[in-house]
Structure 1
Amino acid sequence: MEISDDVDAQISQAFSNVDLALRDAGVKDGFKQVFSIKSYHVGPMDETVFASMKKNMAHWLPSHKPIWTQLGVAALGLPAMKVEIDIVAIDGLRE
């Protein structure tokens, strides 16, 4: 697996991965059901990181704003990783 060096590309890919996971889990309304986002970042949390997160949240969550916690960490699962996104969603449509 090749991981881009570009933090914006990694953040965009992370959101895409979350979308895939939500769909695979059968969450009918996907990101509309997300109520909490935690993003973990290696390296500086500068304007590039913040702007990319805001851009992706506006794209994937255009109709609501879940709780967002942004954390700086020393390392993630692979040395090249600069971001990891953890979400919590409720699929209220299941019985």
Structure 2
Amino acid sequence: MSNATFHVTPGYGEILLKALGYSQAVRVDQRVETSGQGGWDDDLNIPDSIEEEIVRAFENVERTLATCGATWKDVIHVNSYHKVPQGQDVIGQDHNDVMAEQFRACLGGRAPVWTQTGVTVLGLPAMRIEIRVTAVINDEH
């Protein structure tokens, strides 16, 4: 039988566990699933800049993966949720440009599968991006 271990990111993860009762990641054998990671700081503040918010969300994914012994280089699937401004029906190019830039910076040439979804709201009122991933840990890194 597989063992599931739940992991909490230090800082914001501890706040969310206490407030809402959930963990940031679960590891089952070599597989890691994260909850959605926003572009928040440890006090759940969201930056004004969409670029900074996306970069910080990627950093938070990295921090959360690390609690399970994984890195971006282990990621096989990315789901990203993008708040679409009222009156628009597409995810903005500003989101796509930064996402692509961060994929190149964090994945070292790998290209996991990616599902991008436009939404009307996210967990915090100021959020415009949330990223969740699936990783399979490669014991060779």
TM-score w.r.t. structure 1 length? 0.89
Paired AA for residue 61 in structure 1: L
- Structure 1 regions of 5+ residues with no counterpart? none
State yes or no: 1:34 paired with 2:75: yes
- In 1, Cα distance between equivalents of 2:75 and 2:116: 16
Q: Give 1 or 2 for the bigger CA radius of gyration.
A: 2
Report sequence identity in percent: 35
Instruction: Please report the RMSD computed on the Cα atoms of aligned residues, expressed in angstroms.
Output: 1.5
**4+ runs of 1 displaced by more than 3 Å?**
none
Select which of 15, 20, 44 maps to 2:63. 20
What is residue 99 of structure 2 aligned with on the other side? 53
C-alpha displacement at 1:75, in angstroms? 0.6
C-alpha displacement at 1:39, in angstroms? 0.4
What is residue 46 of structure 2 aligned with on the other side? 3
C-alpha displacement at 1:64, in angstroms? 0.4
- In 2, Cα distance between equivalents of 1:60 and 1:8: 15
Paired AA for residue 86 in structure 1: R
75-84 vs 2-11, which moves further = 2-11
- In 1, Cα distance between equivalents of 2:125 and 2:92: 20
Q: Which has the higher contact order (CA 8 A, sep 6+)?
A: 1
Q: Deviations over 1:57-81 (max 9, x none)?
A: 1100122000011100111110000
- Structure 2 regions of 5+ residues with no counterpart? 1-42, 86-90
TM-score w.r.t. structure 2 length? 0.62
Paired AA for residue 102 in structure 2: N
Q: Deviations over 1:40-72 (max 9, x none)?
A: 000251211110000111100122000011100
Paired residue total: 92
Higher helix share: 1
